[in-house]
Amino acid sequence: MNLYMKIKMILPALTEAKSPYWRPIKYSLFPPLGLATLAAYCSPCDEIELQDEHVEELDIDDEPELVIIQVYITNSHRAYALADHYRSKGAYVCLGGLHVSSLPEEAMQHADAIFIGPGEDIFPEFLKDFRLKKTKKLYVNSKRNIADIPPIRRDLIKRHLYLVPNSIVVSRGCPHHCDFCYKDAFFEGGKSFYTQQVDAALNEIDRLPGKHLYFLDDHLLGNYKFAVALFEGMKGMDRVFQGASTVDAILRGDLIEKAAEAGLRSVFVGFETLSDSNLAQGNKKQNLGKNYEAAIQRLHSLGIMINGSFVFGLDDDGKDVFKRTVDWAVQNALTTSTYHILTPYPGTRLYQSMENENRILHHNWDLYDTRHVVYKTKGLTADELKKGYDWAYHSFYSWSNIWKASWQHEKFKNVIKQFSYAGGWKKFEPLWNFKIKTKGLNKMLPLLEAILSKIDNKKNVTRERSPFPAIA
C-alpha cells in the first residue's frame, strides 16, 4: 500500500474569466472550498498542492501521482484539456463537480475516475481504493450527511490572493427545486438539503481570523432550527457576515432578526423576476404570492444590504422587462443587482423541456455563462435579450442610479454606506486590478468590514426626503 502521494488539486478558470471583458475582482473573491474540503480526507503524509487558475498561473510541468479537477460547465473544456495533459504524463486523473454530475458520459472520456454528487463519502472511499490499486471508473454519492466531516484544509488556501478568504459553507444544497437550478442534478437521488452540526460550524468559524465571513450556502436560512442555533452561537463573536436567503425565509418568523443580531449585514436574494407567470414557469414556488417590497423593507430596517438576483429571457418577458426591473431595483434601494440571461443547464428540468421543444441552439458549453443566449427565445429576439441584459447592468450601475438608489434610505449614514459599497464594487476597476496585480487584495478587507459594520440608528440623524424624486 502506498502511504505517501503527491496530489494536485485544480480549479480551472471559467471561460468568462479569461475573456477580454472579464472583471478580475469578480473571480478573486472566494477560494476553492470544495477542493480544500476534499483535501481534508487525504493522509497527513500526502504532499498536496491546490491551485486556482482564477488567481494564479497553473504549473502543469509538475509530476503529481494523483490529480483532482473540479468541473463547472464553462470551465469544462479547460478541465478536460488539463485532464488529458496529466493523463498523458501518467498521472491518475479524477473529475468531479456540477458538470460531471450533469453529463457523466462526457466527463468519463477524459478521466480515470469520475465522482457523481457530493464527495464527502465517495472521496474517502476512492482514496482507500486508490492506495489498494482497486479503483473504479465511477463513484456515486449515496450518503447525505456532513455531521462529522473533518476541518477544511485552509492551510492549502493562498489567503492573500482573495478579497474574502473567510468563506464558509455550513450546509449542502437547497430545500427548493427551481427548474433552472444547476444543482438539482448534483443532489439527485437523495436529500437535497442538509446541514453540519452547529458546534462543528461554530468551531470552523472560530478558526477564521478577522471579523468578516461570507457564507456560500445556497440558503443560509433554509433550516430554521439549525440557523437559530448557529446565530445564537455567533452572538458575541463580533463577526460581520454575508449570505443568501429566499424572500419567503425573510418574511417568515423572526429568523432574519436573529441573523442580523448575529452580524448579518448583506444578503443575496433570488427575486429572479417580477412576473408571477415567469415564477410559475420556473417552478419558483417560494416566491409566488410573496411581497418583495415587504421583505426589502424588513431587511433595510435591520441595516442589511441587498444583492438582488434577476433572470431575463423567461417566456413572459417583453421588451419592457429590462427597464421595469432596473427601475424597480433602484426605487427599492437594492445595493447591488446581479443579472442573468436564462440558461438551460444540462441536467435541469428547464434543459429537458427545452430539448423536448427543440429550443436548444447548441452545446458549446463555453457560452452557457448566463451572458449569452443559447436557446430559442419567446417574446424577445435573441438580439433584444442580449442587448437588454447588457443595458440593465450599465443602467443599474450608472453613477446616477447608484446615487438614486442610495438616496432612498431615510438614514443618511445608510445612504453613504450603500453608495460606498455599490460604487466601490463597480466603479473602481483600476484600483481592484492594481491590488490584484500587486498581491494586495486581502489588504482591502478592513475597508469591506468597515462598510459592513452596524450603524447605530439611535444616534443617527434622519435626513429629509429628497425634494427631487429622481436623478437620471
Query: How far is 282 from 372, CA to CA, in rounded Å?
Result: 19
225 Cβ contact partners less than 8 Å away, ≥ 6 residues apart: none
Query: How far is 34 from 44, CA to CA, in rounded Å?
Result: 18
38-42, 302-306, 371-375, 461-465 — which is least confidently predicted? Answer: 461-465
Q: What is the pLDDT of residues 72-112, one digit of tens each?
A: 999 999 999 999 999 999 999 999 999 999 999 999 999 99
Residue 263, beta-bridge partner list: none
Q: What is the mean pLDDT of residues 275-295?
A: 76
pLDDT exceeds cutoff 50 at 470: no
121 Cβ contact partners less than 8 Å away, ≥ 6 residues apart: 141, 142, 143, 145
pLDDT exceeds cutoff 90 at 280: no
Q: SS3 for 347?
A: coil
C-alpha cell at 135: 479503483
Q: What per-residue confidence (pLDDT) applies to 407?
A: 94
Q: Which of 223, 224, 361, 240 is nearest to 303 (CA)?
A: 240
Specify the domain boundaries for CATH 3.80.30.20 within the chain: 163-452
Query: How far is 184 from 351, CA to CA, in rounded Å?
Result: 12
Architecture of the domain defined by 163-452: Alpha-Beta Horseshoe (3.80)
- Residue 279's pLDDT band (cuts 50, 70, 90): confident
C-alpha cell at 194: 442538509
Name the CA dihedral angle for 442, 447, 449, 454, rounded to a multiple of 10 degrees.
180
Q: What per-residue confidence (pLDDT) applies to 114?
A: 98
Q: What per-residue confidence (pLDDT) applies to 329?
A: 97
Contact 110, 95 (CB under 8 A): yes
C-alpha cell at 123: 472521496
Question: Tell me, what amino acid is at 109?
Answer: Q
Q: What per-residue confidence (pLDDT) applies to 471?
A: 28
* Alpha helices in 109-223, H assignment, sequence order: 122-131, 198-206
Sign of the dihedral defined by the CA atoms of residues 335, 171, 167, 232, in that order: positive
Contact 345, 368 (CB under 8 A): yes
Query: How far is 186 from 144, CA to CA, in rounded Å?
Result: 12
**Residue count of the chain:** 472
| Superfamily holding 6-140 | Cobalamin-binding domain (3.40.50.280)
Query: How far is 335 from 165, CA to CA, in rounded Å?
Result: 22
Question: Tell me, what amino acid is at 325?
Answer: T
- Characterize the bridge pairing of strands 138-140 and 113-116: parallel
What's this model's pTM, rounded to 2 decimal places?
A: 0.91
| Average pLDDT score over the chain | 89
Specify the domain boundaries for CATH 3.40.50.280 within the chain: 6-140
Backbone angles phi, psi at 91, to 5 degrees: -75, 155
150-154, 191-195, 432-436 — which is least confidently predicted? Answer: 191-195
Q: What is the pLDDT of residues 119-178, one digit of tens each?
A: 989 999 999 999 999 999 999 998 888 888 899 999 999 999 999 999 999 998 887 777
